[in-house]
Structure 1
Amino acid sequence: MCLDVDDTLLDSQRAARQGLRELLGTDRAWPVWERTTDDYYARYVNDELDFDVMCVERTKAFFAAFGEQIDDAEATRRENLRMAAMQRSWGLFDDARPCLDWMRDSGLRLAVVTNAPSAYQRKKIAAVGLADTFDVLVISGEVGVAKPDPRIFHTACDALGLRPDEVAHVGDRLDTDAQGATRAGLHGIWLNRDQRAPEDAGVPAITSLHELPELLVGDLAALPAVPELIR
Structure 2
Amino acid sequence: MIRFNRAIAPVSVLSFDLDDTLYDNRPIIKAAVQAQTDYLNTLPGYQHQGLQQWLHCRDCALQQQPKLIEDVTQWRLQTLGLLLAKQGFNADDAKHFASAAYKVFAQARSNITVTDDVLNLLDKLATRFTLIAITNGNADVSQFNLNNKFNLVLQAGLHGKAKPHNNLFDQAATHLQVPHKAILHIGDSLDSDVQGANNAGCQSVWLNNQAANYTYKGLADIEITNINALSHLI
User: When the two structures are superposed, what TM-score results if normalisation uses the length of structure 2?
Assistant: 0.66
Q: Are residues 133 and 34 of structure 1, via their aligned partners in 2, closer, same or farther at CA, if it must alter by over 3 Å?
A: farther
Q: CA deviation digits over 1:155-185, x for unaligned, max 9?
A: 2123333222222101122111111101111
State the aligned residue count. Answer: 200
Residue in 2 aligned with 1:82?
105
Matched, 1:174 2:190: yes
- 1:38-117 paired onto structure 2 within 5 Å: 43-46=67-70, 51-52=73-74, 54-59=75-80, 69=87, 71=89, 72=94, 73-87=96-110, 89-93=111-115, 95-105=117-127, 107-115=128-136
Q: State whether residues 180 and 202 of structure 2, in contact with CA within 8 Å, keep that contact through their aligned partners in structure 1.
A: yes
1:19/1:86 contact within 8 Å kept: yes
Q: Judging changes above 3 Å, is the alpha-carbon distance between structure 1 residues 166 and 78 closer, same or farther for their aligned structure 2 residues?
A: closer
Q: What CA distance in whole angstroms lies between the structure 2 residues aligned with 1:174 and 1:31?
A: 28
CA distance in structure 2 between the aligned counterparts of 1:143 and 1:56, rounded to whole angstroms = 18
Q: d(CA) in 2 for partners of 1:179 and 1:101?
A: 27
Aligned to 2:5: none
CA contact (8 A) 1:109 1:160 kept: no
Contact 1:193-1:207 at 8 Å conserved across structures: yes
Return 5+ residue gaps in structure 2 as ranges.
1-13, 39-49
Secondary structure of the structure 1 residue equivalent to 2:204: strand
Counterpart CA distance in 1 for 2:226 and 2:66 is: 26
Structure 1 gaps of 5+ residues are: 218-229
Cα distance, 1:45 vs structure 2: 4.4
2:227 paired residue among 206, 209, 231:
209
Do 1:145 and 1:152's aligned partners in 2 also have CA atoms closer than 8 Å? yes
Residue 179 of structure 2 corresponds to residue 163 of structure 1? yes
Aligned-partner SS, 1:133 = coil
Indicate the larger mover: 176-185 or 96-105: 96-105
Offset from partner CA, 1:5-63 (integer Å, 9 cap, x none): 222224433211012234547xxx6798689779859743447x9x44x3233235678
Which string of whole-angstrom CA distances, capped at 9 and with x for unpartnered residues, describes residues 65-103 of structure 1? Answer: xxx73531444444443333334x322256531321221
Distance 2:192 2:56 in 1: 17
Q: Which one has the bigger helix percentage?
A: 1
Compute the RMSD of aligned alpha carbons. Answer: 3.7
